[in-house]
Structure 1
Amino acid sequence: MINKTTKHPFNLYYNAGEFVKICGTQDGYFPDFGHHIANEMGGVWLHPIKLLDGFWLKITDLDRGISLWSRADAFTNESWGSAFDYGHGLSHIPLTMKRTQFAPELEKGMMAGYKLHHKGQGELRLKLELLARTDLRPVWFSDEIGIHDGVQDEAVQINSRDVLVKDSGNDWYVMIGTDLPGEEVECRPDLYGPEFTAGNGCGVKFSAEIRIPAEGDFEFHLFVAGSYASAEGCRETYRSLEQDYERMLREKQSAYDAVAKRAQLVIDGEDKFNEVFNWVKWNNQWLIQQVDGVGRGLTAGGPTYPWWFGCDNTYSLQGVLAIGDHQLAKDTLDLLLRKSEEANGNGRFIHEVTTMGAVSNPGNTQETAHYIAFVWEMFRWTGDEVLLRRHYAYCVKGIDWLLGEMDPDGDLFPSGYGIIEIAGLNMELVDTAVYTAKALQAMTEMSRYLQDEGNHERYRLLADRCAAAINERFWIESEELFADAVAPKKDIVPKADYMTSLAHDQGIAGYREYLSGLLAEAGNEEEDRGWLLNKNWVIVTPMETGIAEPDKARRALDKMRSDVFIGEYGTYLSGIYQQGTMTISTGVHAVAEAANGNPDEALDLLGRMIRSFSYVLPGSMAEMSPDYGCMVQAWTVYAVAVPVVRHFFGITPFAARKELVIKPQLPSAWKGKRCSMERLVVGDAEFDIQLEETAGSQSISIRNEACWNVTVEWNGRQVQSSEANIELKL
C-alpha cells in the first residue's frame, strides 16, 4: 500500500465503502461546507441519507488540569481508509495519538480506532470524551419529490455504550457506540463539540476516565451504523461491525489489493506514473455507490457530486472497461438506463439522478448520443450480448429522438446543451454533433451484429453523411480549428450581450470586440456557419473520436498545442477564458493526440495533468486542476486509462468473437523500457502483455491462456496467433 502525508491539513479527505462515505478535513475535524445542500455535504453519509455531521475527541489531563479537543497535525491517506496523527497537537500532555478509520466495503457503517501512547514518566490519568453529532437528513433534491427532513433527531434507545437515534419524520436511523470503559453517556440536541454544525441533529457523548502507565498504550473504537429502512437493520449492522471490524478491514484491504493487481501497469523507471495509475483505480473504487432499491453505479465525484450522471459516466466507464471492472460498467449503465426509461422513455438519456432515485435533469442532448456510442464500446469489451440487446432497444429510440425532436432542420446536428453547460449555449454544438456521428457509427455496427437489416443500411448512410457534414460545416479553414457551434448569425446576435457579460464576470477584457468581429465577418443572417465563441475544449472531440478527416485532424491538433489551449496543468476549458483546467478536458485532448498517432504529445498532456497529483488529497487529482472542486473525480479514470490501455498499448477487443488486436504506439520516453500490463480483463479472459521497443526492434510477450485469436500490428508488420503464450520479435 502507498501512503502520503499531506502538506495541507485543512484540505478534505474521502473514505468510502460502497454504502458509506466519510468526508472531513485532514486535521480530523468536520467543518460545514457545500452548496447542493448548504453546509451539509461533509460528515458521514449512508446515501441517500446523512448519518453524522462528524465526531470529535476531548482529552483532559486530570493531574495537569489541561483540557483540549484533539486536532491532528499529520494525515496519511491509504487506499482503504485514513490515519490521523496527533504527535504535536496534544499540547503539554505527554501523549501521542493515532486515529485510523475506514468504511467497510459492503456494510452500512464505519469504524474509527484510537491508539493513545503515554510518552512520559509515571501514570497518566485522563478523561476522554468521545462526541458524535447526528444529522439524519436526505440527499439533495429530495424536497422536490416530497421527501423532507424531520424536525429533529431523537434518541430512541440509550445504553451506556451505544445510542440509537431516529429522524423524527422518517424511518432513518443511526446507531453510535464505543468500547470505551465506563457508564457515562449524554444525548441531547444542544450538545456540540469544538465545531458548531448545521442541521436538526443531536449530540451523543461517551465519557471515561482511564489510566495509562509510563510508555503504555490505550486503545478504543468508535462504531457507527445506519439504516434508511428500520431500527432493527441498524442494530444488526452495528453488532456485526462491533464484532467483526477487524475481519472487515482485512477484507477491504484484500479487495483494494485486488483492484491494484487488475490491469496492473508497470513501466520501468516511471514510478510516479505507475503510482498514479494505481491510485486512479483506487479513487474509482471510492466512487462506487450502492443504494437498496435504486441500484449500484459509479458516482461523479466526492464530495460535491456523490450521485450518478449520464455524461460523466459515458466518459468514465470507458476507463472502467480499460481497468477491467466490467461489472461496474454494466451495473452503472443499467441504473442509468432504468432511470432514463422511467423519466423519459423516448430514447433520451438522463443527465443526473440522485441517490434517492430522483432525476433532476432529464438529459442534455450530447449525452444521449454519447450513451449510444458507449454501448457498442461496452459490448466489444464485455461480449455480453444480452446486455447489448437490452440497451439496443433504447438506442434505437435515442437515435430517433436525436434526429427527430432535437433536429428539426434535419441537418444531422441535434440542438440543445452539450458537455459545456453554459446557459444560452443550447445550439448545434460540436460535441453533440460529433457524438451523434459516433452514435450512428455504433448503431451501424450494432444493427449489423444483431442482424437488424431493416435499420443497418439507414444507419450506415446517416453515419457517413453526419461525419462528412461535421468536416464540412464545423471546420473553420481560416482558424484551422473546428467550431464550438454551427448557427446562423441571427441566432448569435441575441446571445451577444449575455456571452459578453459572462466574459466580463470572469475578468475577460475585449470579448465584446472579439465577438463583434465574428459577427461582422458572418455576413448572411440566415446561413449556418461555424462559430468559435469560446474555443471550448470540446473542439478536440472530432479528433478524439476519429470523426475528423486526417488532414484536418493533423492541422487542428497542431494548432491546439499552443498556450492558447494548454497551460501548466493541461487543457483549458476555454481557450478564450484560460481560467480552468479539468482532468476531462486534458484527458480527451490526450486521447485525441494518441488516437491520431501522437503518443509523445499525449504523454505530455498526461504529465501536465498529474502535476496536480496529491496536491489537495494525497493519492488523488482534483476535479479542477490543480486544487478546486471534487477532490476525487470519476472521469479521471478515462483521462488516465484510455490513453494508456487503448492507445499506448493499443488494445482493441472484440470479446464476443474472442478476438484481441494489439497495436502499440509507445511514447518516446517509454522506449527502451519494459512496459507491462498484467491481468488485463477482456470478456471472460485475462491477458498479461509486456512490450519493449528499442532502436530498430520491438518485442512483445502475451499470456493468452484463453487462446483467443490475437493480432499484433507493430512496426509495419502484422502477426496472428492463438497460442497460450505468444513471444514475438518484430
Structure 2
Amino acid sequence: MAALTSRHPFNLYYSGGEYVKICGSQDGYFPDFGHHIVNEMGGIWLHPIKLLDGFWLKVTDLDRGIAVWSRADGFTNEPWGTRFDYDHGLGHIPVRIDRMQFAPELEKGMAAHYRLQAYGKGVTRLRLELLARTDLRPVWFSDEIGILDGARDEAQVLTPRRVLVKDSDHEWYAMIGSDLPGEEIAVGPELYGPEFTAGNGCGVAYAAEIELAEREEFEFRLIVAGSYVSREACEQSYQVIEAGHGAMLEEKRRLYEQVQRRAELSVEGEDRFTEMFKWVKWNNQWLVQTVDGVGRGLTAGGPTYPWWFGCDNTYSLQGVLAVGDAQLAKDTLNLILEKSEEANGNGRIVHEVTTMGAVSNPGNTQETAHYITFLWEIFSWTGDEELLRRHYEYAVKGIEWLLGEMDPDGDLFPSGYGIIEIAGLNMELIDSAVYTAQALKAMAKMSGYLGDLERTAKYKELADRASRAVNEVFWMEEEGLFADAVASKRDIAPKVDYMVSLAEQQGLSGYRDYVENLLETADQDEHDQGWLLNKNWVIVTPMEAGIADPQKAERALKTMRSSTFIGEYGTYLAGIYQQGTMTISTGVHAVAEAANGYPDQALELLERMGRSFSRVLPGSFSEMSPDYGCVVQAWTIYAMAVPVVRHFFGIRPAAYEKKLILAPKLPRAWEGRSCELKQVVVGDAEFDIRLKEVDGHLHAVIHNPGGWQVEVQWDGMTKISQGTRIEVIM
C-alpha cells in the first residue's frame, strides 16, 4: 500500500478505526481547536465520548542537561494509521525517534509505538516522560439532551504502568498504560504536557531512565482503551489491545488492501488520477463510525462533523455503492431511517444525528426527497428486496409530507431549506424541487416492483407534472440557467436587507444594486417566478438528476462553463460570491456534465478538484477547497466515484434482474488507453471490466463469473451477452 508524506507540521490529520478516531497536528501534538465543542474537537475519541486530549513525550539528555518535548518534523499518512519522524525535533540530543500509531478497526482503543535510536558517540543517558491527558466528556449537542460533562476525571493507579480514569458523573472510562521500564508515575489534574488543553481532564505521566549505546534502539508502547458503558468493558478492551495490537495492525493492513482492490481503477497514463481514486476509498473507511446501541454508518467529515447526516449520505452513499461497499450503505441508510422514525415518524428524514443518538435538526426539505431517490439506487445495486420493503412505507409517508405539509400551494415545489442552509431562505428551492421530481420517479419504480399499482399510476403522473413544472417555472430563458428559488416579489422583498448583509460579510460590494434590480424587473407581487439570488451551485441539479429538458440542459451546462461558476479548484458554492468551493459542488457539476454526454468537461472539473489533493492532509481532499474545513469529507467519494463508475464506465446495475448495463462515455483524454475497473460489486456478483476506445470503436472485455446478462450500449448500438467472459467490439 502507498503512503504519503508531509512537512506541514501545524496541519491536522484524522485517522482511526470504526470505534476510535484520532486527530492531532502533523507535528505529533494535539492542539485545542473546534467550534461545535469549543477547543475540544481533537484528541482521541471513542464516540460518543472523548477519551484523551492527547499524549506527548519528553526526552531529557541527562549528561548534556537538555530537556525537549519531542516535536515531529516529518509526517507520513498511511491508509491504516500515521507515522511521525523526529529526526531534528530533539535539538542537540543525539537520538532519532519514530512513532507509529493506529486504532484497531473493531476495538475500542488505540496503540502508539515509539522507537528510539541513538547516534551519538559512547553512551547516551536519557530520561523519558510519556504523558497523556484525559478528557472524558460527551459529544456535541449532548448538553441539549441533558447529558453533561462531569466536574472532573478521577484517576485510579492500578499498577505503576496502568491507570484507570473515570468521569465523576458517568460510567465513562479510559485506561492508559505503557510498557516503559520502571515504576515512576505521576497522576493529577495539574499535570500537563507542552500544550495546555481545555476541559476537566487528568494527567497521567510515566517516566523511565535508559542508556543507549551508539546505534542502539529502544522501543516502547502507549496503549489506550475506553468504554462508555462500564469499567469491565474498558479493562477488557485494554487487555485485548495490549495482547494483540501487532496482529490487529496486520489485520487492519489487510482490510485496507481489500478496500483498495474493490472497484480498483487503472487508466494508462493517469497515475495521479487513479491514486486519488484509491485514496478516496481509504478516506471513506476512516469515516465509518460504529457506536454500540446507536448504529453503524458513514459520518460526514473529520474532525468537525464526526456524526451522521441525511443530506451528506444521500450523496456519499451513491459513491459507496459505486466502489462496492453495499453493507456500509445499508447500515447507514438503516441508521438514518431509525432516527427519522424516532424523531419525526411522518416521513421526514433527519438532517443531523450525533453519535449520542440525538437529532439536532429534524431535517431539511431536500434530504427527504433525496433519500427516497436513493432507495431505488441502493435496490438497483444490491437487489435487497427486504431492505426495499423496510424503507418503502416510510418513503410513502415522505412523499405525503413533501407534497402535503411542505407544499401548501400544491405546485409540487416543497418549501423549506435545501442543501444550502442560508438562514431566512427557506423557500421553494431548486434542489428540493428537482429531487422531489426525481423521488416521484423512484417511487413509481419501487411501487411498480412491489405491486403497489394504484400508487404507481399516481406517482408516474406526479413525476411527469413535477418534471415539467421544474422546466417551466425554474427555467430563466434570458439567463440560460435554472433559478435558485421560486417565490413572489412580495416574499423576496423583506429578505433583501438580510441577503445584503450576508454578501457584505463576504466582502461583496454591489449586491444591493443587483438584487434591487431583480425586484424592479420582477412581475406582480403575487406571482411566483424564478430568482437567481446567488447563482448557487445547486442550479446544476436539474442536469445531474436528469430532470432538465435536453435543450435546456445543454444550454445551462454551456452557460455554467465559465469563470462565473468555475474557479481554480472547481465549482463555486455561489457564482455571485466566487469564493468557496467544495468537492460536492464540483462533484455534482461533474456528474451533470457526464450524465448529459460531456465526459471531457466532467474530467476537467475533477482535475480542478484534484489540485487540492494532499494540500492539507496527504492523501485527502479538504471539505473546502483547497485547504480548509474538515481534512477529510465523505461526499468526496460521490465526486470521484459516481462520474467514473456510473458515467465514464457507464455502469447501470439492475441486481434485482441479475443484469448489468454498460453504456460507457470515456473522456477523449483516455482514448486509446486501457481503462479497467476490477472487482465491481453488484448484488452478489463481481465484475472485472476493461474498456478501450480506438478510432471511435469500443473494445470491451467483461469477466462475469456469475454469468449475469450484460448489455453493452455504444454509439446507438446494443449488444446483449451472457457468459463468464464477454468480449465485445462495437
Deviation at 1:240, TM superposition (A): 0.8
- Bigger Cα displacement from structure 2, 292-301 vs 112-121: 112-121
Find runs of 4+ consecutive structure 1 residues off by over 2 angstroms: none
Q: Does 1:692 align with 2:692?
A: yes
Deviation at 1:523, TM superposition (A): 2.7
Q: Does 1:348 align with 2:367?
A: no
**2:681 equivalent in structure 1:** 681
**1:279 equivalent in structure 2:** 279
Deviation at 1:382, TM superposition (A): 0.6
8 Å contact 1:348–1:398 — kept in the other structure? Answer: yes
CA distance, structure 2, for counterparts of residue 715 and residue 578 of structure 1? 38
TM-score with structure 1 setting the length: 1.00
**1:257 equivalent in structure 2:** 257
Q: Does 1:720 align with 2:710?
A: no
**2:387 equivalent in structure 1:** 387
CA distance, structure 1, for counterparts of residue 93 and residue 620 of structure 2? 34
CA distance, structure 1, for counterparts of residue 724 and residue 613 of structure 2? 38
**1:95 equivalent in structure 2:** 95
Q: Does 1:663 align with 2:663?
A: yes
3-state SS of paired residue (2:525): coil
1:244-393 equivalences in 2 (<5 Å): 244-393=244-393
Question: CA-to-partner distance for each residue in 1:284-324, whole Å, 9 max, x for gaps?
Answer: 00000000000000000000000000000000000000000
- Give the aligned residue type for 2:3: N
**1:214 equivalent in structure 2:** 214
**1:651 equivalent in structure 2:** 651
8 Å contact 1:698–1:715 — kept in the other structure? Answer: no
8 Å contact 2:537–2:571 — kept in the other structure? Answer: yes
Deviation at 1:66, TM superposition (A): 0.7
CA distance, structure 2, for counterparts of residue 516 and residue 127 of structure 1? 70
1:186-201 equivalences in 2 (<5 Å): 186-201=186-201
TM-score with structure 2 setting the length: 1.00
8 Å contact 2:129–2:208 — kept in the other structure? Answer: yes
Deviation at 1:641, TM superposition (A): 0.1
**2:111 equivalent in structure 1:** 111
- Give the aligned residue type for 1:415: S
- Give the aligned residue type for 2:681: V
Deviation at 1:716, TM superposition (A): 2.7
Deviation at 1:698, TM superposition (A): 1.8
8 Å contact 1:112–1:222 — kept in the other structure? Answer: yes
**1:538 equivalent in structure 2:** 538
3-state SS of paired residue (1:165): strand
**1:45 equivalent in structure 2:** 45
**1:598 equivalent in structure 2:** 598
Question: CA-to-partner distance for each residue in 1:214-269, whole Å, 9 max, x for gaps?
Answer: 11100000000000001111111111111110000000000000000000000011
- Give the aligned residue type for 2:369: A
Deviation at 1:158, TM superposition (A): 3.3
Deviation at 1:729, TM superposition (A): 1.5
- Give the aligned residue type for 2:276: V
- Give the total of aligned pairs: 730
CA distance, structure 1, for counterparts of residue 692 and residue 701 of structure 2? 9
**1:551 equivalent in structure 2:** 551
CA distance, structure 2, for counterparts of residue 156 and residue 114 of structure 1? 25
- Give the aligned residue type for 1:310: G
- Give the aligned residue type for 2:53: D
3-state SS of paired residue (1:581): coil
- Bigger Cα displacement from structure 2, 12-21 vs 690-699: 690-699
- Give the aligned residue type for 2:50: K
8 Å contact 2:264–2:679 — kept in the other structure? Answer: yes
8 Å contact 2:162–2:176 — kept in the other structure? Answer: yes
3-state SS of paired residue (2:491): helix
8 Å contact 1:69–1:194 — kept in the other structure? Answer: yes
3-state SS of paired residue (2:229): coil
Structure 2, unpaired ranges of 5+: none
**1:525 equivalent in structure 2:** 525
CA distance, structure 1, for counterparts of residue 483 and residue 591 of structure 2? 19
- Give the aligned residue type for 1:116: L
1:412-431 equivalences in 2 (<5 Å): 412-431=412-431
**1:580 equivalent in structure 2:** 580
**1:507 equivalent in structure 2:** 507
**2:451 equivalent in structure 1:** 451
CA distance, structure 2, for counterparts of residue 465 and residue 697 of structure 1? 39
- Give the aligned residue type for 1:314: T
Q: Does 1:479 align with 2:479?
A: yes
Deviation at 1:48, TM superposition (A): 0.1
CA distance, structure 1, for counterparts of residue 450 and residue 358 of structure 2? 33
3-state SS of paired residue (2:67): strand
Question: CA-to-partner distance for each residue in 1:69-127, whole Å, 9 max, x for gaps?
Answer: 00000100000000000001111111111000000000000000000011121111100
CA distance, structure 2, for counterparts of residue 389 and residue 328 of structure 1? 18
3-state SS of paired residue (2:4): coil
Q: Over aligned residues, Cα RMSD in angstroms?
A: 0.6
**2:79 equivalent in structure 1:** 79
8 Å contact 2:20–2:47 — kept in the other structure? Answer: yes
3-state SS of paired residue (1:278): helix
Deviation at 1:156, TM superposition (A): 2.7
3-state SS of paired residue (2:21): strand
3-state SS of paired residue (1:624): coil
- Bigger Cα displacement from structure 2, 86-95 vs 20-29: 86-95
8 Å contact 1:703–1:725 — kept in the other structure? Answer: yes
Deviation at 1:9, TM superposition (A): 1.3
8 Å contact 1:544–1:595 — kept in the other structure? Answer: yes
CA distance, structure 2, for counterparts of residue 215 and residue 314 of structure 1? 54
Deviation at 1:715, TM superposition (A): 2.9
Deviation at 1:3, TM superposition (A): 1.5
3-state SS of paired residue (1:24): strand
- Give the aligned residue type for 1:150: G
8 Å contact 2:7–2:73 — kept in the other structure? Answer: no
Deviation at 1:211, TM superposition (A): 1.1
- Give the aligned residue type for 2:91: S
Deviation at 1:606, TM superposition (A): 0.1
CA distance, structure 1, for counterparts of residue 88 and residue 195 of structure 2? 21
Deviation at 1:694, TM superposition (A): 1.3
What is the percent sequence identity of the aligned residues? 69
8 Å contact 2:128–2:208 — kept in the other structure? Answer: yes
CA distance, structure 2, for counterparts of residue 420 and residue 716 of structure 1? 38
Deviation at 1:157, TM superposition (A): 3.6
Deviation at 1:144, TM superposition (A): 0.7
Q: Does 1:134 align with 2:142?
A: no
8 Å contact 1:382–1:682 — kept in the other structure? Answer: yes
Question: CA-to-partner distance for each residue in 1:32-64, whole Å, 9 max, x for gaps?
Answer: 000000000000000000000000000001111
CA distance, structure 2, for counterparts of residue 131 and residue 568 of structure 1? 44
CA distance, structure 2, for counterparts of residue 182 and residue 465 of structure 1? 77
Question: CA-to-partner distance for each residue in 1:454-500, whole Å, 9 max, x for gaps?
Answer: 21100000000000000000000000000000001000000011001
- Give the aligned residue type for 1:431: D
- Give the aligned residue type for 2:596: N
- Give the aligned residue type for 2:136: L
**1:516 equivalent in structure 2:** 516
8 Å contact 2:71–2:86 — kept in the other structure? Answer: yes
Question: CA-to-partner distance for each residue in 1:397-423, whole Å, 9 max, x for gaps?
Answer: 000000000000000000000000000
Question: CA-to-partner distance for each residue in 1:423-472, whole Å, 9 max, x for gaps?
Answer: 01100000000000000000000010000012110000000000000000
CA distance, structure 1, for counterparts of residue 485 and residue 668 of structure 2? 36
Question: CA-to-partner distance for each residue in 1:626-670, whole Å, 9 max, x for gaps?
Answer: 001000000000000000000000000110110100011100111
CA distance, structure 2, for counterparts of residue 515 and residue 717 of structure 1? 49
1:150-165 equivalences in 2 (<5 Å): 150-165=150-165
